[in-house]
Amino acid sequence: MRITKSVDLGAGRTVILHELRPKDVLKFLRSISQDLKNTDLFTLLTERLPQMLILLEGENIVPPAGETLEDLSLSECEQVWMVFREMHPLLFLMAGEMLKTALLANFQTGA
């Protein structure tokens, strides 16, 4: 069973986060794997990182009733992000290793 956590935003507003499944993570990794090999780090961080939002599509996150994620304030997004990170430590360990590998490859090739 997937882990589910609620993020209380106050005023009766709650965001529900569901634990990612392997297929969610694979979808994300496939979307950036070629970029990690062929793109300089600056471009990865400024243009490709938003692809991480793939992880929050569909049933993985349920915003407050009648709202979308775009309706949340930046501080509310930060609250949600912190809980999401706590739920998926292995994912962030993997992502960190991937970025470290890309940084080293870019440094070695002088890109």
pLDDT of residue 109: 65
User: Is residue 3 predicted with pLDDT exceeding 60?
Assistant: yes
Question: What separation in angstroms does the CA of 68 have from each of 78, 97, 110?
Answer: 15, 32, 42
Least-confidence region, from 5-9, 36-40, 49-53, 95-99: 49-53
When divided into structural domains, the chain yields a total of 1
Six token digits for residue 68: 């979308």
Range of 80's domain? 4-109
- Residue 65 burial (CB count, 10 A): 8
* Higher local confidence (pLDDT), 99 or 111: 99
Q: What letter represents residue 73's amino acid?
A: S
30 φ, ψ (degrees, to nearest 5): -65, -35
* Higher local confidence (pLDDT), 35 or 15: 15
* Higher local confidence (pLDDT), 19 or 48: 19
**Of 17, 2, 4, 1, residue with least CA distance to 72:** 17
This model's pTM is above 0.75: no
